[in-house]
Amino acid sequence: MGKHTPKTASAPSKRRAVLVHLLILLAVSLVVRLVYLQQISSNPFFHYTIVDAQTYDEMAVRIAAGQEPVPVPFFQPPLYPYFLGLLYALFGRDLYLVRLVQMAMGAANVWLLYLLGGRLFDRRVGMAAALAFSLYGTMLFYEGEILAPVLVVFLNLLLALAVIAALEKPSLPRALACGVLLGLSALAMSVVLPLALVIPLYAWRQWRKKTGRPGPWRRLALASVFAAGLLLVIAPVTWRNWRIGREFVPISTNAGINFYLSNGKDYERKVAIRPGYEWDELLNEPIRLGIHKAGGQSAYFMNKALGLIAADPAGYTRLLLRKLNLLANGNEIMRDQDIYPFRQYSPLLSLLVWKKGLAFPFGLLLPLALLGMALALRRRVPGVGLPLVFVLVHAAVLLAFFVTSRYRLNVLPFLALFAAYGTLGLWDVLRQRRWLQAILPLAGLSALLLFCNWRVGPMSRDFSVDSYYNLATKLLKEGDTERAKGWLLKASELDPLNPEVNGNLGVIYEQEKQAQEAKKCYLRILERYPDDVQAHLHLADLCLRLGELEKAGQHYEQVLRVEPENESALRGAQFARGLGRQRDAAARFPLVRGILEQLGAKPDDPALLNDLGAAYVTIGYPDMAIEPLRLVIAAKRFLPSAHNNLGIALLQLGDREGAKREFLAALALDANDANARRNLVIVQQLEKENHAPRQ
């Protein structure tokens, strides 16, 4: 395959060509993005944020209000929430406007990629890569989400251009700019941090090849300024984390748990965990062990993951190969939301993202990019090292953690450059009818296409269960119970035992007075989590209302087995026992039954409550007498008999001091109350007997 040599052109013609390319790229990228934004605005999630987007949104609202975004060290890199916060502060919280700004940034990325391609290869490659990038459906989708990829790509492209400029004409300001841009990119997504070491090493190697290269001391100064620029950006975040949490957290604390989720035999199960029961249980694991600082919790999960790797190195090797396969596979692996269901809301997205044998676009892009890498390395293209460094560093980090469509976008611009270079190189060979030279590249491309599109899976029309659940919770907060219930029922079809979904459905059914349907929901939770406290409490309360006192007591006891100090269960169990004894008393004693029937019509009648208390005392249920008698006294109805009856109940329960106090209260209201006076004498005689000397 021969090397393409572009024709020389005068400076004015070059400027005209660049201007024409700029206009074409801006027109294509902006039109595509505006059309997509208009189409996707009909999807049910457009006005709501969920999972990571919700976290960023909530942080941004507080930032715009001048508040601390979170009261602990940052869990995720903070630059994107501050970017959102700036937009909110300037224009208010307008998610449509945020998407519009991100679309404009996406168009700027197209232009930056064109410039990068021209610097590393030539304008033809830059134009082809930029056009492909402007129509890349996955990037388009994430530009329309309240997520960081568009900002990360923007900063990485600026960083790559800055590194090229620093390599061509080394200077301290250019080295500083590289460090600052790398720091900003790290604050948007920390996976770029290995470049802090790789870029100086790459620059050192490149300068060794140049005539008139900077000397050792000059190179050391450049590297130092580069490091200073990086620290200048990151240090304020590190200081803020120290001030808030009194621990050293350079950027964020999510590395540990992400590394744990990404390693071990149960990789697929762990990376599928979403916020909810299982996620909360996982996050609380180090807290139960007494580790309360965020940095310490991150270290706990990091060490736990390293222990898993050390215990099974062969299994870890197999997992890395599995991740490598996922990284190369054309399927768009979801993290927060699955991209494929959004196709039904955007005809444009359905043209740009699909799976029909070929998983378009990544299943085509990566084979072409690998072909372009091989061709560029074979031809020893001078600038090939830099995009290759970006790709390899990001790929290594993804393999260390987990592979998703969203995180794969970090290397997309560089893959687009290689894909354009490979496509144009192969086209030149075919156009010139050099068939023999085309055999090997075509064979390699065919094998790569087969490998990258092997078992890519179907395209789902349904969103994930947690997407439906999160949307429903947003609607519930707005008071739109009917729509929320519809999405929860949809989620329940996909995962009938999902605890979060059934918990919310149960509450809705309770509000609708459908007790049996609510019970079914809570029982489904217990099928998956038999010790779930909230499900047992809901079931206990429902059973109380349905008169199923024994079952209510069983659910309360189950809660107390898990949480012995649970106040709701303690009160509920006591109340259930009381109702059970009340039912028993009513069945055994007509007097009690008659009073209870009258109280059904007049539940606050003091005289009836007093009679009930007296009846309980008479039949030997003094503990049951306490509550109705205290209600009478609390109503401030001056019934001496209520105090007297309460005194008798307390005396039967062994509380002589309390009994004495009530008998005195009865006499204070009616000094001639013979019953109260007689009972007071009994208490006093008992006290004398207790204090009498014994032989």
Please state, in angstroms and rounded to a whole number, the distance separating the CA atoms of residues 292 and 303. 16
Residue identified by tokens 């010139």 is: 432
Provide mean pLDDT across the span 4-29.
77
Surface-to-core class of residue 358, CB atoms within 10 Å of its CB (0-12 exposed, 13-18 middle, 19+ buried):
middle
Which tokens in the block code for residue 38? 């208009």
Tens-place pLDDT, residues 35-83: 999 999 999 999 999 999 999 999 999 999 999 999 999 999 999 999 9
Which tokens in the block code for residue 328? 């190369």
**Predicted local distance difference test score (pLDDT) of residue 634:** 84
Tens-place pLDDT, residues 431-450: 988 888 889 999 999 999 99
Cβ atoms of 229 and 186 closer than 8 Å: no
**Predicted local distance difference test score (pLDDT) of residue 637:** 64
Amino acid identity for residue 243 in this structure: R
Give the Cβ contact number of residue 307 at 10 Å: 13
| CATH number belonging to domain 605-690 | 1.25.40.10
**Predicted local distance difference test score (pLDDT) of residue 9:** 56
- Length of the chain (residues): 695
**Predicted local distance difference test score (pLDDT) of residue 544:** 86
Helix (H, G, I), strand (E, B) or coil at 360: strand
Tens-place pLDDT, residues 623-652: 887 888 888 888 866 688 888 888 888 888
Tens-place pLDDT, residues 378-429: 999 888 999 999 999 999 999 999 899 999 999 999 999 999 999 999 999 9
Same fold: 479-579 with 605-690: yes
**Predicted local distance difference test score (pLDDT) of residue 489:** 97
Please state, in angstroms and rounded to a whole number, the distance separating the CA atoms of residues 217 and 199. 17
How does strand 358-360 pair with strand 354-356? antiparallel
Residue identified by tokens 């001091």 is: 657
- Does the structure show a pLDDT above 80 at 577? no
Cβ atoms of 487 and 515 closer than 8 Å: no
Kind and range of the H or E element at 420?
Answer: helix 412-431
- Per-domain residue ranges for the chain? 28-252+330-452, 255-312, 479-579, 605-690
- Residue 205 CA from chain centroid, whole number: 41
Kind and range of the H or E element at 452?
Answer: helix 435-452
Angle at 449 between CA 445 and CA 454, to 5 degrees: 150
Confidence tier at 694 by pLDDT (50, 70, 90): very low
pTM of the predicted structure, to 2 decimals: 0.85
What radius of gyration, in Å, describes the C-alpha atoms of the chain?
36
Cis ω before 640 (30° cut-off from 0)? no
Angle at 101 between CA 98 and CA 107, to 5 degrees: 140
| CATH number belonging to domain 479-579 | 1.25.40.10
Provide mean pLDDT across the span 213-228.
89
- Does the structure show a pLDDT above 70 at 578? yes
Cβ atoms of 566 and 535 closer than 8 Å: no
Please state, in angstroms and rounded to a whole number, the distance separating the CA atoms of residues 498 and 488. 10
Tens-place pLDDT, residues 107-161: 999 999 999 999 999 999 999 999 999 999 999 999 999 999 999 999 999 999 9
- Does the structure show a pLDDT above 80 at 340? yes
